[in-house]
Amino acid sequence: MNNLTLLVMAAGMGSRYGGLKQLDPVGPNGETIIDYSVFDAIKAGFTKVIFIIRREFELEFKEKVSNKYADNIEIKYAFQELNYLPKPFKCPSERIKPWGTGHAILSAEKFINEPFVVINGDDFYGFESFKVISDFYKNNTDDFSMVAFRLDKTLSKFGSVTRGLCEIVNGNLDTVTETESLEKKRDTISSNRDITLYGNEPVSMNMWGFTPKLFKYLNEMIVEFLSSNGNELKSEFLIPSVINDLIIAKKESVTVLKSDSTWFGVTFKEDKPFVINEINSLINSKIYPKKLFK
């Protein structure tokens, strides 16, 4: 097995949820969703995990999350900071919103020299998802990839969500279109776009596989982004937009890997009891032990 790193994006503000949901317990012994992702990653053969967090809750994060598996996998911490920008750009003094997922990934550049998988810290992806992308990088050390989920397995019962709808051509990603207001309506799914959706459409849940060459693109493209959007208070340098641009320019292709795992997460506060019940069901089915890390 080649070295493979898990990069966990956990620096989000959690504005809709109303707090630092990455630290919320959902398991019977205080486990967070991140704990289940790390458990699955270790089982799938990952050799290192990097947490992208905000510096101000480093100690709390270590205490509640990462200390429990410090003996199981190599751990690093990267800090997504508003002022971490290439010269001569400066962060507007009024801005409080992070610069987006592309900027978050850049903050971990110094720790990565091997293929790596990027995930959201507040999403549950399931072991199958980690296994399929880990198997991919056993034989493909220079390609980009993405795990696609079924749309109907990524919706919330408590409100509309935004998802990246994917077009796939010959097994490769063709486009990712951020689609808002996705919500189950009887036999179809409504959205902010004039399209008919049935639920079997592939979507991106920000589970990407990359190699270190991504950083060359990010360092170049964030300069272009900041030149156009650097004075805005809520603009974001997003990894799906970066990937779309690379595909359109024919600089990279992205292999799409399929997962039948049911995604779930805590987008809204009402999601938490549902997530706890799902975790308990998986424990009762012996898919996870009652206590993840001893």
pLDDT at 157 exceeding the cut of 50: yes
Mean of pLDDT values over 106-132: 95
Residue 169 included in any domain: no
Structural domain boundaries, residue 37 = 5-146+203-284
Tens-place pLDDT, residues 89-114: 999 999 999 999 999 999 999 999 99
Buried b (16+ CB within 10 A) or exposed e, 72-97: ebebbbbbbebeebeeeeebeeebee
Residue 236 included in any domain: yes
In order, the DSSP letters of 227-239 are HHHTT-SS----H
Residue 173 included in any domain: no
Residue 291 included in any domain: no
CA 5: distance to chain centroid? 13
Residue 167 included in any domain: no
The pLDDT of residue 2: 81
Please tell me whether residue 274 adopts helix, strand or coil conformation.
helix
pLDDT at 23 exceeding the cut of 80: no
Whole-number average pLDDT of the chain: 91
The pLDDT of residue 92: 96
Mean of pLDDT values over 255-265: 89
The pLDDT of residue 196: 86
The CATH number of whichever domain residue 14 belongs to comes to 3.90.550.10
Residue 12 included in any domain: yes
Into how many domains does the chain fold? 1
CA 279: distance to chain centroid? 19
Residue 290 included in any domain: no
pLDDT at 25 exceeding the cut of 70: yes
Residue 157 included in any domain: no
pLDDT at 291 exceeding the cut of 90: yes
Q: Is the pTM of the predicted complex or chain greater than 0.85?
A: yes
Query: By percentage, how much of the chain surpasses pLDDT 70?
Result: 96
pLDDT at 267 exceeding the cut of 80: no
pLDDT at 5 exceeding the cut of 90: yes
